C-alpha cells in the first residue's frame, strides 16, 4: 500500500539549525496494527522511517536538522492498514548548538562559557580520558536563562585533564 503524505514548506535560514519535534502514536490495542509505516523527510532527505510500529501511546520524537536553503520542506509519510497513526504538536524552532565561547583556568577552578538557547534544558558532562566510553554528568540539568551559560568546575586537582561537553536535554 502506498504512503499518504502531509508536507509544508517552511521559511528557514540557510545554515541555521532547528529542532524538529512532534508526537506520534499507534493507538490500536496492545498488539498494534500492521502493516504500517511512518516516514519523516527534511529537505527531501529521510531522517526517520519505521515500519510496523507496535502499539504505543503518544511518544515525543525530536530531531536536530539544518536548513541548506532559505526554504525547507518538512514532509511526513504514513500508512496504517486498516487503522490509523496519530500525529500531533509538530514544531520546528531554531536552536543554538551548544558551543564553548570562553575557557579560563585559574589555580582554583576551571571556568567555561557555553553558547545556549534561553529556555532550553542543558546538562554539563565530562570525562578524564577520551578512551572512556561514557560521559559523566557534572551536577544536575539546568535551564539556560540567557544565550551564554557560565560553568565552573572547582576541582582542578583530582585529575590532570578533563574534557567537557554541554548536552541539550531532549524533551524539554
pLDDT higher than 60, residue 155: yes
Co-location of 116 and 149 in the same domain: yes
**Final residue before a domain boundary, out of 64, 94, 124:** 94
Q: Are 171 and 135 in contact (CB under 8 A)?
A: no
Angstrom distance (rounded) from CA 43 to CA 66: 9
**Final residue before a domain boundary, out of 94, 114, 148:** 94
Cα–chain-centroid distance for residue 125?
16
Q: Are 75 and 107 in contact (CB under 8 A)?
A: no
Predicted confidence band of residue 31 (pLDDT cuts 50, 70, 90): low
Angstrom distance (rounded) from CA 6 to CA 57: 21
Q: Is 38 helix (H, G, I), strand (E, B) or coil?
A: strand
Counted residue by residue, the chain has a size of: 172
Give me the number of domains the chain comprises.
Answer: 2
Burial class of residue 25 (count of CB atoms within 10 Å of its CB; 0-12, 13-18, 19+)? middle
pLDDT of residue 125: 92
pLDDT of residue 88: 93
pLDDT of residue 127: 93
**Global pTM?**
0.64
- Tens-digit pLDDT profile for residues 80-119: 877 788 899 999 988 877 778 888 888 888 898 988 888 8
pLDDT > 90: percent of the chain = 39
Co-location of 89 and 164 in the same domain: no
Q: From the CB of residue 115, how many other CB atoms can be counted at a distance below 10 Å?
A: 15
Co-location of 90 and 104 in the same domain: no
> What is the chain's mean pLDDT, rounded?
87
Cα–chain-centroid distance for residue 50?
18
For residue 131, the enclosing domain spans 99-168
pLDDT higher than 70, residue 157: yes
Task: Out of 20-24, 108-112, 166-170, give the one with best mean pLDDT.
Answer: 20-24
Angstrom distance (rounded) from CA 145 to CA 116: 9
pLDDT higher than 80, residue 54: yes
pLDDT higher than 70, residue 74: yes
Angstrom distance (rounded) from CA 75 to CA 46: 9
- Tens-digit pLDDT profile for residues 128-153: 998 888 999 999 999 989 888 888 99
pLDDT > 70: percent of the chain = 95
pLDDT average, residue stretch 49-70: 90
Angstrom distance (rounded) from CA 146 to CA 60: 26
CATH code at position 86: 2.60.120.260
pLDDT of residue 29: 62
Amino acid at each position: 500500500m502506498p504512503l499518504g503524505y502531509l508536507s509544508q514548506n517552511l521559511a528557514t535560514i540557510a545554515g541555521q539549525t532547528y529542532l524538529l519535534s512532534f508526537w506520534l502514536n499507534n493507538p490500536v490495542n496492545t498488539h498494534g496494527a500492521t502493516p504500517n509505516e511512518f516516514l519523516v523527510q527534511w529537505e527531501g532527505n529521510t531522517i526517520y522511517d519505521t515500519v510496523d510500529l507496535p502499539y504505543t501511546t503518544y511518544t515525543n520524537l525530536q530531531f536536530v536538522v539544518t536548513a541548506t536553503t532559505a526554504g525547507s520542506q518538512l514532509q511526513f509519510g504514513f500508512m496504517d492498514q486498516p487503522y490509523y497513526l496519530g500525529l500531533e504538536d509538530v514544531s520546528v524552532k531554531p536552536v543554538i548548538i551548544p558551543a564553548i565561547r570562553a575557557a579560563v583556568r585559574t589555580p582554583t577552578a576551571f571556568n567555561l562559557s557555553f553558547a545556549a538557547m534561553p529556555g532550553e534544558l542543558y546538562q554539563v558532562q565530562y570525562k578524564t580520558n577520551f578512551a572512556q566510553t561514557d560521559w559523566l554528568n557534572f551536577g544536575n540539568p539546568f535551564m539556560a536563562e540567557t544565550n551564554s551559560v557560565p560553568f565552573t568546575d572547582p576541582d582542578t586537582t583530582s585529575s590532570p585533564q578533563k574534557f567537557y561537553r554541554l548536552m541539550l536535554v531532549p524533551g524539554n
